[in-house]
Amino acid sequence: MARQLAQQGNRVLWLTQDSGPLPAALWGQALATEATAIGPNLWTLQLQAAKLLEQSWDVVKGLEAQYLRNPLLKQVFGQELVVLPGMEDALTLDAIRVLYDSQSYDYLVYDAVSGKASLRMWGLPEQMDWYIRRFQKVLAESELARALSPFIQPIAGAVLNISGSQDSMNQPIQQARDFLAAGRQAVQSAQHCLGFLVTTAAPADVEMARYLWGSAQQIGMTVGGAIAYDASVPDQSLASIPSQSCPRLTDGNWEPLMTAMPNLAAAVQNAPAPVVINEIEKRVKLFLPGFTKAEIDLTQYGPEVTVTAGDVRRNLFLPTSLKNRSVQGAKFQEDYLILSF
């Protein structure tokens, strides 16, 4: 796909988390941790967590210096740090954000090592925003907060490099939420972020593709099509999206593979939307292929509506008109979970 888009005159960056030998074998040369030109309109980039951690640590120290009168982390250096479990996804997503915001490329083609892990990464903006929003509300309404409120502002004024007023203390939290909201909107816009399933004709692979398809809908990512490697996908298994066969790479001839790639404009236009909200009818439709009714669970606590499909959980981001309404009805029909408020 990267080769095809570059041949069409687009500036394309192909990037991967795979630090093994396969990317170098595919491209015919070693990949670097900085974007490297590999042909006309085409660059490659190998994302390595340790390198990304070093770069991000400088940003963290800059933020600390901005908000703390006496920074604590200035004597800790990125080259000393090790990558903890879960950090790699956050670092990778942030690196993609920086590349996306730079507008240096027309397309970023991201090759994930694991489909399931990749979807968890793309879902981080929405999930992290939920944690901030929910626990901020719980803390603000707690007896502990009320008891400590007379002391919080004077202490904050002494420690933080801000005035200590409530609005001033809320500013970093609001900035973080705005930052995460921008990420969520990008991931959930088919014009900006589009996923493709890759499978073979093996029944187990097709079922996994359907599962990943439904999981992608849970984070709001649009899936534009399926690419079947050296095979044709059975007609009904991945209905609603175009499925195309991709031949094997033979003697380094990429032309047949490039020809087989889906048309992105058509994929964006024809892909089913993960969520359809009808405020007039007070109804929400969630597209959840790959799951059965028995695998879907719905819970509501106050204004929060949570949908669990398999082991993927989503807290619905509802418009104001529906946010404080109770779910009156739910049914699962033709791969759609339909909620009435």
317 pLDDT band, cuts 50/70/90, is confident
| pLDDT per residue as tens digits for the range 222-275 | 999 999 988 877 666 787 788 889 999 999 899 999 999 998 988 998 888 899
CB burial string 209-220: b at 16+ within 10 A, e below: bbbbbbbbbbbb
pLDDT at site 155: 64
pLDDT at 168 over 80: no
CB atoms within 10 A of CB 29: 12
In the chain, which segments carry CATH 2.60.40.790? 275-340
pLDDT at 164 over 60: no
Tell me the three state secondary structure of residue 172. Answer: helix
Q: At what angle do helices 166-187 and 143-159 cross, to 10 degrees?
A: 100
Asked if 225 contacts 267 with a C-beta cutoff of 8 angstroms, the reply is yes
Contacts of 319 (CB under 8 A, 6+ apart): 277, 279
- 3-class SS string, 128-150: HHHHHHHHHHHHHCCHHHHHHHH
Nearest-angstrom CA–CA distance, 48 and 81: 14
What mean pLDDT value characterizes the chain?
Answer: 86
154 pLDDT band, cuts 50/70/90, is low
pLDDT at 82 over 80: no
The average pLDDT across 204-220 equals 92
pLDDT at 156 over 70: no
The average pLDDT across 170-194 equals 89
Question: Which residue has 């994930």 as its token pair?
Answer: 112
pLDDT at 189 over 60: yes
169 pLDDT band, cuts 50/70/90, is low
Report the share of the chain in percent with pLDDT over 90.
47
**Which ranges of 219-263 does DSSP label H, i.e. alpha helix?**
255-260
pLDDT at 8 over 90: yes
CA neighbor of 93 nearest in space, from 10, 31, 19, 179: 179
pLDDT at site 58: 78
pLDDT at site 64: 65
pLDDT at site 256: 95
The residue ranking higher by pLDDT, 73 or 32, is: 32
CATH class of 275-340: mainly beta
Contacts of 106 (CB under 8 A, 6+ apart): 5, 10, 11, 12
What predicted TM-score, i.e. pTM, was given to this entire model? Answer: 0.84
- 12-16/42-46 β-pairing: parallel
Nearest-angstrom CA–CA distance, 337 and 278: 14
The average pLDDT across 331-336 equals 91
| pLDDT per residue as tens digits for the range 287-304 | 999 898 999 999 988 777
